[in-house]
Amino acid sequence: MNVEKLVKMANQIGLFFDAMPDRPQALHDLVLHIRRSWDPGMRIDLLSHVDETAGAGLSPVVREALERHRSIL
């Protein structure tokens, strides 16, 4: 899948979870949502993008969530 679309989708998910008052729980839930909703190829492509570009284009909440909870993806 096109990485630009994945970044856009991840950022849209991030908007929802960024509004949650419990930041640690929001970060965890954001990654769980991606894990449950995205197929493995999409997750691999997103993580490759993070590794190759330091997460260029990703919102701060998405980057933080992926950094903290990458192992559960």
The answer, yes or no, to whether residue 1 has pLDDT greater than 90, is no
Q: How far apart are CA 5 and CA 19, in angstroms?
A: 22
Identify residue 61 by its one-letter amino acid code.
Answer: V
What integer pLDDT is reported at residue 18 of this predicted model? 97
- Per residue in 4-46, pLDDT (tens digit) is 999 999 999 999 999 999 999 999 999 999 999 999 999 999 9
pLDDT attached to residue 38: 98
| Domain definitions of the chain by residue range | 3-72
